[in-house]
Structure 1
Amino acid sequence: MRKTYYVLLLLFSLLSLGGCNNDDDDNIPEIDKLPPATQTGAGTFGCLVNGEAFVETGTYFNCYYQNVDGEYYFALGAENDSHNIIRQIILGSNAAEIDSNHSYELGCFEIPHSHYGEVSFTNLMGDYFTCETDYGYLEITKLDFTNHIVSGTFEFDIEHPSTGEIIKIREGRFDTLFTQ
């Protein structure tokens, strides 16, 4: 009888431990959920959207820097299917070069020789650009043509098309490989 009691106690203890809901992620500050700011081609992208972590989930991650008819085009796109405000963020240039250790003001996609930010909001159709706001930058911290690595930081504001709220994208960082 005593042996059965200890076996049941052990079994109950193991089942209790397996049923625990460990919500340690809820206690981590949002900034600490972002990938580190590296320059190794690690394939990372993250930022804070109104203080909430947005990290590329691997569903869509693409980067290119190409010369087309003598003009340079850069685009970096990241997606997070579970974020509650923004589904996709794109940083790019329209007939404008990028270079290491340079910061670029973000403007409108439609204007040649400009750099821009673009988002797709969760549960809304369409893409929205930094044209409507006054704040935004893209800083390229590394552009390595030999190893095809581009790294940088960014921040910008974007107006939510339904509410008019200014969405603040801060502490942005990326480190990835690009195609030419």
Structure 2
Amino acid sequence: MKNKFLLLTWLLAVPLLWGGCDKPLFKTDEASIAQPDELPPITTTGEGTFACKINGVNWQRCGGGFLQSSIIGEWHPVYKIFSLQGLRSCEGFDDAVYINAFIDSIGLYPLEAGQYDDFNLECQDVLDQYFLLETADNWVEILNLNTDEFIVSGTFQCTLVHEGCGDTLFITDGRFDYDWAN
């Protein structure tokens, strides 16, 4: 009887002790997930890459199908609007990086828009992204714009802020190589 009482006490006490923890026991911690050691190389052949460093940490798509990790973008030849978004929703991540600029050929252009969404942050919701810090050096360099093959490739950097989260994100070493027809 005494053993049953001790067992019952233990079974009731453990969940109460877990409730006192600051972090959930079974939630994946992004910082503990292995990041790629290197970003993919800068290419100009429509390889389907989108990567950068966010505050010095490598960020890139983590593979999988369209819903898990994708690149969505386009270049509109009439309006010269270029937009590109890299998404990842796998391996404990659920975030996206977005850039937008007016471009018409190879060259360096100021970013018109840049955003970051981390759907795991409590201080951010879907309609409340990180936005460009307008006084920062925000740019995209187009290395290839092949309108016959529907390929746009280049590099980028920007600084994003979010007042509610109190963060500044420094996005550096950005690179993309995108075939907008596929």
TM bucket, shorter chain? 0.5 to 0.7
For residues 108 and 94 of structure 2, what CA distance do their matches in structure 1 show? 24
Residue of structure 1 in register with 2:84 after alignment: 76
Q: Percent identity?
A: 28
Mapped to 2, the partners of 1:98 and 1:34 lie a distance apart of: 27
The one of 56, 66, 69 equivalent to 2:61 is 56
Point out 4+ residue stretches in structure 1 off by more than 3 angstroms: 82-86
> Displacement of 1:81 after TM fit?
2.6
Residue in 1 that maps onto 2:140: 138
Partner deviation per Cα, 1:91-133 (whole Å, 9 max, x = no partner): 113xx33321x11122xxxxxxxx2212213432123321555
The residue that corresponds to 2:103 in the other structure is: 97
1:65 aligns with 2:75: yes
Q: Secondary structure at the match of 1:39?
A: coil
1:111-150 equivalence runs, <5 A = 115-122=112-119, 123=121, 124-125=124-125, 126=127, 127-150=129-152
Mark the runs of 5 or more structure 2 residues left unpaired by the alignment.
1-32, 64-68
Superposed CA deviations along residues 54-95 of structure 1, whole A, max 9, x for unmatched, are 10235231121124xx423211110123588981111113xx
Deviations 1:5-52 (A, max 9, x none): xxxxxxxxxxxxxxxxxxxx95x8x6x421110111000010001111
Structure 1 residues not aligned, in runs of 5+: 1-24, 107-114
Q: Is residue 47 of structure 1 aligned with residue 55 of structure 2?
A: no
Say whether the 8 Å CA contact 1:86–1:119 is kept in structure 2: no
Letter in 2 for 1:121: D
CA distance in 2, matches of 1:134, 1:73: 21
Q: CA deviation at 1:166?
A: 1.5
TM-score (norm 2): 0.66
| CA distance in 2: counterparts of 1:121 and 1:132, whole angstroms | 21
Amino acid at match of 2:72: N
**CA distance in 1: counterparts of 2:115 and 2:104, whole angstroms:** 17
Amino acid at match of 1:136: N
Which protein is richer in helix relative to its size?
A: 1
CA contact (8 A) 1:98 1:140 kept: no
Count of residues in correspondence between the two structures: 140
Q: Helix, strand or coil: the match of 2:80?
A: strand
RMSD over aligned Cα atoms: 2.7
- Counterpart of 1:14? none
Q: TM-score, normalised on structure 1?
A: 0.67
